[in-house]
Structures are given as structure tokens and as C-alpha cells.
Structure 1
Amino acid sequence: MVRNGDEEDQERGGTRGESTEDAFKDEYVPPWQKQITLRAMVTGLILSVVFNFIVCKLNLTTGVIPSLNVAAGLLGFAGVRSWTVVIDKFGMLKQPFTRQENTVIQTCVVASSGIAFSSGTASYMLGMSPNIATQSGAGNTPNNTKTLSISWMFPYLFVVSFAGLFSIVALRKLMIMKYKLTYPSGTATAYLINCFHTPKGAKLAKKQVGSLFKSFGFSFIFGAVQWLVARDEGCGFGSLHTFGAQAYAKRFYFDFSSTYVGVGMLCPYMVNISLLIGAIISWGIMWPMIEAKKGVWYSADLSAVSLHGIQGYRVFIAIAMMLGDGVFHFAYMLVVTILSFTKRTSSRKEDKEEDDDNKIQNEYFLKDQIPNWAAAVGYACIVVVSIIVIPIIFPSLKWYQVLVAYLIAPILAFCNSYGAGLTDWSLASNYGKIAILTFSYWVGLENGGVIAGLASCGLMMCIVDTASGLMGDFKTGYLTLSSPRSMFFSQLIGTAMGCIITPLVFSIFNTAYDLGDPNGPYPAPYALMYRGIALLGVEGFDSLPTHCLSLSIWFFLAAILINLVTQLLEKFETKYKIYRFIPSPMCMAIPFYLGGYFAIDMCLGSLILFGWQMYNKQKAKDFGPAVASGLICGDSLWGIPASVLALAGAKAPFCMKF
């Protein structure tokens, strides 16, 4: 049955017009101190550990990380609601579970798991390690490598991860209230939380939680079964030659990963198709052609992982596509930002009519102010500490270079936050790559430019990423009547949790497995790529294999052209919407190094979701994200006992070979 939008929004606790706050007109809105409760923080801590394992595993395998906001909000709702129901039965419930508390939990968890990404434990930080340096075959000197240890990872993350929060907090009213930026992820999260806390929405949320835990159980058990039959290398489900031995040798096979299937269900269709297209172009066409030139274009005596051989083509052509994609989006976002400001400046008319929702939301958003002087003092203190601590950890990065990075970072943080508010794109990794090239060139190879570039990447990524994340959470808080102070402090707490949990989780993986091995379970593709960018900065293009530079330039230009065509079609072609079917250069580049096995898994996830939507579109919309999150959580959490077993030297009892 077709219903009009207002009816559907009202039933599902939507955010359209006056229906939202009408649904909560009798709800008690606690002061900000009571929004950050002990039970919320305990729930946030538990979920932070879970989500850090998930993000760490995804970082170390494919680097494709879907939005986990839905799972964080849903699990936070399930955890606290079940606890309050039990307490209420005994008449001991002192404070009801509100949407503001739910928002605090979600903010804390996402901030913590965000550190697992921006910390670079699977990219720039891992790229510093001697293991990755050995693979690169260049810059493998003592001052250009650094052994990973939690003894320096803890202080480094603590000094760089909080600056982004203080750099942008003073602009919250400008971005949220005056410019009314959308922040699509923040708005969608608020919509979900509002849904959970309406009577009918709560019923749906309980069913979603049930679906999540069913898929979680299946995924966890299936992960255990896969471990039981994978005693030695070449054993297990992942060794099945799904499409034949020749395709398997070119990394085209289905490896039975619940995680990738779940990620595929959460990612847009064209992301997964782009990955598959990239795998076909590289492993199906390009690499066999280049390997045929072995002994002509590059030496036949090189190791399989040397960047001067076939691996160099894989890594640097992928880097070229990523840089091309990044340069285009950087320029595009700059143009969008300038045009948006110009439009706002030239327009003298302001819409003074506010609906009831806006009036209420503005009132609560302005209620608990965060003093601008506190933000300025906080940022200044972090800068002072950083210019002392960072050069001690990384001697190749001087204090004045750290100061320059901190002076530039707030401008980039604003640009990224504004762009994310318009388009939902965070370009944190692109700003990080620019920092690598800039600072590695500035310092030079002899003075440890590789480490300096990678360390500056971390500083820039953390500031820019946490800044846009905070503003998105302010948008969520604005739409759920959560206090800006509770949002800010829950971000601080979540960031602190992430700075502690992320190195510990990473150290478990690093101790149990050989991270960065291209043929191992955790190839960490971005580690070698980020180190490759640093090597370009200090060595220039002379270090590349024959014809690698010309191929890289062509793919760099192709990435820009593909993005340009996509944007032009999106703007001017409206009838058939062809732009929706153009692949993403960034996604195409990822399998250039890894192969197509995970792309096949993710495409299967898309196929499952597509079939589900054809059968029942509404149920697929309601339960698809929950089922996908369960698949990811279950398989990723199996990594904890699997790591413990690996550390204990235990081997699986069986070997299943095909």
C-alpha cells in the first residue's frame, strides 16, 4: 500500500517537519550532565572494543570500511534498553533511557572506532615498520623505519587525536544553525535514534536487534568452523578454487568471508561493482601483460614483493589512481565551498520563518554553550605539548615543522567539515597524502623523510577526520535535542577510549600474525601504498620501474577524467541518470594490489540485498543494515579467540583441501 510521506514519517518517528518533536512533546529532556551516564559510558566502552576489532580487521584486509553508525546506535539502544527494562521491573529505575543518552553512546562508540581508522595502524603507521620497508626495497635505513610499539603509539595518538575537536568546535553555530549544513550521516543517525525511541520505532528496533544477533551468531559460528578446517597453509574454505585454478592464481575466488559479504550489503552497489571492475582490469588484463615483460621492463631476479618489480606497478599505479581521485575531489570540494560561500554572501534574504521543530532544536542547541576561549586555549595547549612530544617520538620531524602542520590543520579541518556537511565526503586521507608528499620532500631521505612524512600524515588525518566527525555528531545532537556539551564531552571520552583501545587491539593482531604479507590473511594494502607515497616524496620518480611512471600518469589522468564526467553527467543529465553507473576510481584502485577475492564476496552481498529488495523492499530497508552488521560483527569478533589461539601456538585439528 502506498502512503504519503508525512504519514510514513509520523509512524516511523521521522524527522520531517513538525511530526518529529510532536512525537516527543511529553518526553523529559535531561540536562547535559545526566545525558552522559555511567551506564552509557560502560555500554560505549564495551561497544568500542567490539568496533575497534571490526575496524582494525577491515583496515588490515581490504581497507573498505562501511558506516557503522547504524550498528552503534542499534546496539547501544539494545544494551541500555534491556538493562533499564530489567531494573524497572524491580522498581529501581531512577532515570529513563532517552534518545539523548542513546546519542551519547553512539557518539562515543563512533569517535572511538574512528581512531582505529585515523590512527593509521594499518596504513601510515604500519608503513613505518621494518617489515613494510623491506617489501618496498627502498628507504630501508634506520632513520626511515620505526618498530611499532604501544610505548610510543599511546602518547602519539593522545597528542594528535584531540586537536581536531578543539579546532572546529567554535564554528558549530555557524555550520549547523546559520549554514544549515545537512551532514547526511549525522542526519540519518538522528533519524534512526528518533525512530528507536518512538513506541512503534522501539518495536521495530527490537526486531532489528533480533535479526542482528541471529546473523551475528551464524557469522561467529561459521568463522569458528572455517578455523577448524584450516590447519595449514592451503587448507580451508578460502583455498577452494571457485572459478578454477588459473583464476585462483590471479586472486579470483570466493573466500567465504562473512565480513566482506556484510560490508557488501552496506556499501552502495557501484562501490562493489567498481572493486570488481578494478580487479578484472588489473589482475585479468594488465598484470599478465606486464609480467610477460619480465626481464625486459624489470629484472627477473627481484623478489615478488620488491617495488622495483611487478609489485611496483601494482602499488604505484594504484597510488596514482588514488591521488588522481583525491586531487579531483579536493579541487571539487574547494570549488563547491567557494561557490556556496559566494551564494550565501550575495543573498541578503534570510528565511526568518522557523517551524516548531527548528525553534525547539535551536533552543536546546544554544542552551549549553561551549566557550570559544576554552576551545582556543585547548588547541594552544595541544600545540605546545605536540611540538615537544612529537619530535621526541619522531626525531626526523622538527618542532617548527610540527608547528607549521598545526597552523595549517584548522583551515583544512574547516574545509573538510564544510564539504562533509554538503556531500557526506570526508577527504581526511587525501589531506594526509598531501602531508606525506610535502613533509617527506621537506625533510629529505637522508634525514628520515619517510618517517617524517608518515608521521605528519597521521597528525593531519587525525585533526581533519575528528573535526568533521564532531560536526556530524553536533548535527545528530541538534536533531535529537542532545546538548552540545554532552556531544563534545562524549567525543572527548570516546576519543580517549580509542587512543587506548586501538593500540592494544592492533598489538594483538601484530603479535599473532605477519601483518603486511601480501599472501597472508592480513595483507594491509595501504601500509605499502602510504610508504610508497613517502618514497615518491623523498626519491622522486627515478625509483619507479620502466614505464611505471608513464602508466601511472595515464591512470592519474583517467581517475580525474572519470570523476569529471561523473560530475558533469550528474549536473546536466537528468533523464537516465547515467552517472550512477560510472565506476569509482578510488574503489577500482584497491584491488590493483589485493586482487578480486574480496570484491567477489562484496558483490555477493550486493546480490543478496538486491534479491531481498525485489522480494520485499521495506523489510530489506528495515533489516538489511542489521543483518549486515551482524555478519561483520560475528566474523570480526571471531578474530579475538582466533588471535588468542594463534598466540598460544594452537593449530586447527583438520585440514580441508580441494
Structure 2
Amino acid sequence: MSVILEESPPIKTSYLAKLKLPQVTLRSTIVGLVIGSIILISNFQFGLQTGWVSMMSLPAALLGFAVFKLTPLSKNFTDVENVYIQSIAVAVGTGPLCYGFIGIIPAIEKFLNPEETGLGHKIIFSTKELIIWSLGLGLFGVFFAIPLRKQVIIKEKLPFPSGSATATLISVLHGTEIFEDEEPEKLKSQEEEDSLNKTPVLERTTSSSQLLESINYQQNMKSLSLTFIISSIYTITSYFFPILKNLPIFGTWASKNYEWNIQPSPAYIGQGIIMGLPTVSYMLFGAILGWAILAPLSQKMNWAPGPIDDWITGGQGWILWISLSIMVSDSLVSFIVLSVKSIYDFFIDYKMRKASYTQVLELQQAQRERLQQQGIDEEDSEETIIIDPNTAVEVPPNFLVSNKVAIIGTIGSTILCVITLRIIFGKLIPIYASITAILLAMLFSVLATRTLGVSDINPVSGIGKLSQLIFAFIIPQNHPSKILINLISGGVAEAGAQQAGDLMQDLKTGHLIGASPKAQFIAQIIGTLYSVFLSSIMYKIYMKVYTIPNETFRIPTAIIWIDCSRLVTGDGLPPKALEFAIIFGIIFGFISLIKNILPSTSKYYKYLVYLPNGVAVGIGIYNTPNFTIARFIGGVIAYNWHRFSNRGKIGMIIFSSGLVLGEGLFSGFTMLLTSLGVKHF
């Protein structure tokens, strides 16, 4: 009898062939770092303005393809190499959020009072200290995410919508297939498996059932170039004519007294296209609620009598607490519900797999008993017994990052994080606080990754706030640096969740295309180390060239961080802000509960789109209306895209990418003009 004990069913031959294709190449590494640098500059620009930072995996994949398409190297450029490029670019581009350069660091430098530091003076980081800080935060999330891949991508097959969308784009660009998450056919003999594994290079195929949309390359490259040029021209023109950043279309009275303007920024319109109409509609609702109702009310009732745009005494500072309450309430409720669901699904999945394995063993034993009753020797039987047919597909070990590397890397990066925090802050940050923050970050990374896999939302903001709340109970109230420690703990938790989520989205893309997980891990490490230095340098450049905060760079995320720290550590709120914060927190917590527990099979599920998302509403409240209105215009364009364009969703992504990247990249040029003292008109 021949018995095959298949703990991991064989992978499709074409998948194996793809894994062996060159991926970690010098050319793709350089291109990935360059594209990542563009995305990083873009994320700094928009992050310091509105707090919005994006992975930009779709534009990264598109730009990587475009670079090679325009050169003689295009014949040898594969889809798996394109995956490697976008993995590096994402690791580089998300540095501003991961290392806290749009939130934690400016909160410490710009808003932390001397007595709150524990030193008696303000903290200003040097470039060297920023690099050390970033290095400490940059790696533990990457290593800790390695073991999660098999559970959430291979076994549970979580969708990771953005990662799947990027895979679709890459497959369309290259005319190759997507490997769906399906069990492969069982191989009937070891000889058949061996012969199939010898099949040479995979052939590229185009199948209408596998490719979601066709693409007209020349048309879309023309669209990308045109929108990039338009966005670039606007960026330079608006530098010389600042009025273009705040057009008073609602009248000078509304503009002067309540900040109701519009910034016709192509980049923010592009962001709105990417976000979609529902999200930007929630943001517009938040802008109306905050800047047309609550802020004027607080001023009229003398709760915030200062100028409407004042963070301390004005309406903007007052409605910030309502925004914070709404976002935290929504994030925590959805985080808790999805975490409970994920844990429940995990145990159900485990029980089903265990039961399936047990059933196969029972069948195997019954078969042996039957053979014995028939007087047939097992060795003479031609029957094949395959054990555990439900085990998920996995790639060969030589294309994976080993658990040994994951364990050593996690321990080493944890020690590195503790040491770097000690180097920068000395004894102000107790070692137990650093270790606790990292352990919480690892726990939250698991839950955040699963939430991201299901909902396409990485709840890093809520995770940071939850960590701040927990540390309010851990650190004694009489500790001189309690607010500083609170900020750092939130930053560590946010960094871990951000890194784990980004890597898992990329791994989903690679899994569908057939890329090597080890190559993507290498991409993440290279991109992270590069981003550590570039992010630190860019932050110092921004702080040197511009006086921040200012009218353009309001760093709202930093204000949210510092206010949340002061709130959980016992500071008071402006008059009536607590009452309004509680009311709106309860309302949006209840809305979040409904949106997360109502099953998709319910007849009322389709109406959930009309219930506002708390995070989007909160962003609309704390950002001035000019940014939100531009994004809303983009959302309307996205909604009507198919009515005036026949290029489908891929064409829309390309169109919006040009708008975002043009302004993001040329913001570096306007920064140069500012540093040279070139005057506005």
C-alpha cells in the first residue's frame, strides 16, 4: 500500500515557477526606494496639513511598472518583481506615520510644556536622536508580523481588500493571472508531483475570468502624466498666489469668522477619489457639524470666546474634544467587536480543522480494519490515504522567513527599542514602561492586522488612544513625565500596528501574484532602514524651512495626541466640552456597534452606508473645511466616474494617483522656494 501523508498539499506548478523568478534585484531596489521617497515626501506634506497618510501601494505598483515600461528592461520585468518594488516603496512611504513624525514627535516638540517633560525645559530632538528613535520603532512590528502570515493569509484567507486590489492592478498591467485562494488538486502520486515540479518557466496567460478589467496602457499613462502636470502646476502657482489655497466661495464673512473656504487642491481631490463618496460624505458631515454648528455655538455661548481657529481659547480647540471623543468611541467599539469576532473565528477555524483531521484519521483506521477483515495486506493495497486534506496551501520553506528568524528578530528589535528609548530619554522613561508598551503593541498588532484584513481599515489611531488610556493607569499620577510617557507608549503601539498591517497587505498582494514572502520581507527591511534616515531628515527640513504650526501646516494629529494625553492623565476640559464629548461619544459608539454587528445577510445591511463612520466624521471636525470640501469633490467624481469615463476602476486609480503624486512631489520644490525666501504675490 502507498500512503502519502500530505500535511501541506502541493502548490500549483506555475506558482512554484514564479517563486523562483528573480525578485530581489538591484534595479528594483533602486526604483522602489525612489518611488518610496516620492510617496514619503507626499505623506509628509499631507500628514502635517491634515493628518492623512496613505500606503499608496496602488500608485507605487503603477509607477514601478511605468518606469520599466519606458525602458528597454521591460521585457525582463515580471509581476513578482513589481510586487517587490511596491513593497519597498510602501515601507519607505509610510515612515512619517510609523515613526510619529506627523503626530508624536511634533506633539512633544511643539505642545509639551517644560513642566510636562520632567526636565524643566522643552524637548527638541536632533537629527541623530530622531534616527535613533525611528530605528527603535521601525523593526519589531516587521519581525512580529512574520508568524501572523500563515494564520491570516494562508489559513483564514482574510481578504485584505487593498492588498487584493494591488494584486489585481499588477496582474492587469502584466497580463498575468491571480492565484485565487483555492485548494489545489490532490496529486495522486509522488512521481506525478516530482514531474510537475520539473516544469520550466511559467507562461504568462491572460484570462477574462481572472483579470477583472482590461487596461489601455497608453491611454492611462497619458492620463497619469496629464493629471501629474496639472497637480504640479497648481502646487507652484498656489505658492505664488496663496489665495488659491483658501478661496472664500461662501463669502468673506464665513471665511473670516468660521474658516469656510475651499482649497481646490488636485491632490485632495485625488484623495477624495481614492476614499470614495461615502467616506468623504461622512467627513463633510463632520465639517458641517463642527464648523457650522458646534464651533459657532461654543463661541456664542462663551465656552470658547477666542478666534474660531484658536486651538486654546477658540472654537477649533473646543470642537477638537468632540472630534477626539467620536473617533476614540468609534475606533474602540469597532476594534473590540472585530477583535472578539476574530478570536471567535480563530477558535471555530481551529476546531473545524482539528475535527477534520480527526475524521480523516478515523477513516484511515476504518480502512485499515476493513483491509484486515478482507485478508489484504496493507503493503499490497493500491489505495492511497491522504491525511488532512483541509490543510492550507503554503509555499516551500526556502521561500519563507523561518520562525527562528522571527523569534530572534522580535527579541532583538524589542531590546533595540528599549535601548533607543533609554538613550534618548534616559531615566525619564522607566524600562518597565518601555517593555509594557512593546508588549501591548504586539498584542494590538495581532488584533489590528485581523481588523485590517476584514475591513481594510487599520485602526492605528484607536490603538494609540487605547494604549494612552491603559498607560494612564500604569504610570503613577505623580510621575513628573507622565504625559511624555503617555505619548511615547501610544507611539510605540501605533508603530507596531502600522508596520504589521502594511506588511500583511503586501504579503496578501504577493500571495495572490505568486511572489516570494522572503523577498517581500527583505523589501520591508530595506525600505524601513532607508525610511528611518529619510524620514528623520525630511522632518528636520520641514521644521527648519517652515514655522510649524502655521496656517498651512496645522499638525492636527499632534494636537489630538497631546490633548488625549492630558485628558487621560487628569487635565480638565474647556467649559461644556465634557458633556458634549460624552453625548457624541455615546451616539457614535452606538452607531459603530450597529455597523459592526449587523450581519451582511440582514435586509437592513444595505442601509448602513447612511450611518456615518465616526473616524471620518472626527477627521471632518478637526480639519478646517477647505480640505474636506476638496475631498468631497473627489468623492463625487468617483461616484460618477463610470458616467463620463469608460476606463473603469483601474483608470480611476491612475487618474487620482497623478493628482496626489504631482502635488506631493512638487511640495519639495515649493519648500526650496520657501527656504530661498522667494516671496509670494
Give the TM-score of the pair, scaled to structure 2.
Answer: 0.82
* SS of equivalent residue, structure 2 residue 570: helix
- Give the Å deviation of 1:457: 1.6
CA distance in 1, matches of 2:17, 2:70: 20
Q: Do 1:39 and 1:80's aligned partners in 2 also have CA atoms closer than 8 Å?
A: no
Is 1:82 the counterpart of 2:70? The answer is yes
CA distance in 1, matches of 2:395, 2:480: 52
Is 1:581 the counterpart of 2:613? The answer is no
| Residue of structure 2 equivalent to 1:48 | 36
Residue identity matched to 2:459? L
| Residue of structure 1 equivalent to 2:192 | none
Is 1:474 the counterpart of 2:482? The answer is no
CA distance in 2, matches of 1:344, 1:364: 21
Give unmatched runs, 5+ long, in structure 1. Answer: 1-19, 89-95, 231-235, 353-357
Shift in CA distance, 105/302, structure 1 to aligned 2, threshold 3 Å? closer
Shift in CA distance, 576/187, structure 1 to aligned 2, threshold 3 Å? closer
| Residue of structure 2 equivalent to 1:513 | 546
- Give the Å deviation of 1:73: 0.4
1:322 to 305, 327, 338: 327
1:100 to 62, 69, 80: 80
Is 1:547 the counterpart of 2:576? The answer is yes
- Give the Å deviation of 1:606: 1.8
CA distance in 1, matches of 2:36, 2:401: 26
| Residue of structure 2 equivalent to 1:495 | 528
| Residue of structure 2 equivalent to 1:63 | 51
| Residue of structure 1 equivalent to 2:461 | 429
Q: Identical aligned pairs, as a percentage?
A: 24
CA distance in 2, matches of 1:140, 1:447: 7
CA displacement 1:300-328 (0-9 Å, x = unmatched): 58997353654442221111111101111
1:455 to 468, 485, 488: 488
| Residue of structure 1 equivalent to 2:631 | 602
Q: Do 1:437 and 1:536's aligned partners in 2 also have CA atoms closer than 8 Å?
A: no
Give unmatched runs, 5+ long, in structure 2. Answer: 1-10, 177-205, 207-212, 361-388
| Residue of structure 1 equivalent to 2:517 | 484
- State how many pairs are aligned: 601
CA distance in 2, matches of 1:113, 1:42: 14
Residue identity matched to 1:467? A
Shift in CA distance, 143/591, structure 1 to aligned 2, threshold 3 Å? farther
CA distance in 2, matches of 1:239, 1:385: 45
Shift in CA distance, 81/306, structure 1 to aligned 2, threshold 3 Å? closer
Shift in CA distance, 301/368, structure 1 to aligned 2, threshold 3 Å? closer
| Residue of structure 1 equivalent to 2:225 | 213
CA distance in 1, matches of 2:216, 2:468: 46
Q: Do 1:72 and 1:110's aligned partners in 2 also have CA atoms closer than 8 Å?
A: yes
CA distance in 2, matches of 1:601, 1:393: 40
Residue identity matched to 1:214? L
2:666 to 635, 638, 656: 638
Shift in CA distance, 586/425, structure 1 to aligned 2, threshold 3 Å? same
Shift in CA distance, 202/269, structure 1 to aligned 2, threshold 3 Å? closer
- Give the Å deviation of 1:67: 5.1
Residue identity matched to 2:65? F
- Give the Å deviation of 1:28: 5.9
Shift in CA distance, 208/341, structure 1 to aligned 2, threshold 3 Å? same
- Give the Å deviation of 1:391: 2.1
CA distance in 2, matches of 1:651, 1:643: 12
CA distance in 2, matches of 1:434, 1:568: 21
Is 1:313 the counterpart of 2:318? The answer is yes
CA displacement 1:502-547 (0-9 Å, x = unmatched): 1222222221212223xx111111111100011112224xx21222
Residue identity matched to 2:164? T
- Give the Å deviation of 1:484: 1.4
Give the TM-score of the pair, scaled to structure 1.
Answer: 0.85
| Counterparts of residues 265-304 of structure 1 (less than 5 Å) | 265-294=273-302, 297=303
CA distance in 1, matches of 2:471, 2:593: 29
| Residue of structure 2 equivalent to 1:224 | 236
Farther off after superposition, 397-406 or 97-106: 397-406
- Greater C-alpha radius of gyration: 2
| Counterparts of residues 148-187 of structure 1 (less than 5 Å) | 148-187=125-164
Is 1:110 the counterpart of 2:113? The answer is no
Residue identity matched to 2:290? S
| Counterparts of residues 562-573 of structure 1 (less than 5 Å) | 562-568=591-597, 571=600, 573=602
- Give the Å deviation of 1:273: 0.7
* SS of equivalent residue, structure 1 residue 631: helix
- Give the Å deviation of 1:151: 1.8
Residue identity matched to 2:415? V
Residue identity matched to 1:53? I
Shift in CA distance, 153/106, structure 1 to aligned 2, threshold 3 Å? same
Shift in CA distance, 375/429, structure 1 to aligned 2, threshold 3 Å? same
CA distance in 1, matches of 2:341, 2:605: 24
| Residue of structure 1 equivalent to 2:446 | 414
| Residue of structure 2 equivalent to 1:332 | 337
CA distance in 2, matches of 1:113, 1:408: 25
Shift in CA distance, 624/467, structure 1 to aligned 2, threshold 3 Å? same
| Residue of structure 1 equivalent to 2:124 | 147
Is 1:38 the counterpart of 2:22? The answer is no
CA distance in 2, matches of 1:220, 1:265: 18
Farther off after superposition, 45-54 or 427-436: 427-436
| Residue of structure 2 equivalent to 1:371 | 402
Q: Do 1:440 and 1:537's aligned partners in 2 also have CA atoms closer than 8 Å?
A: yes
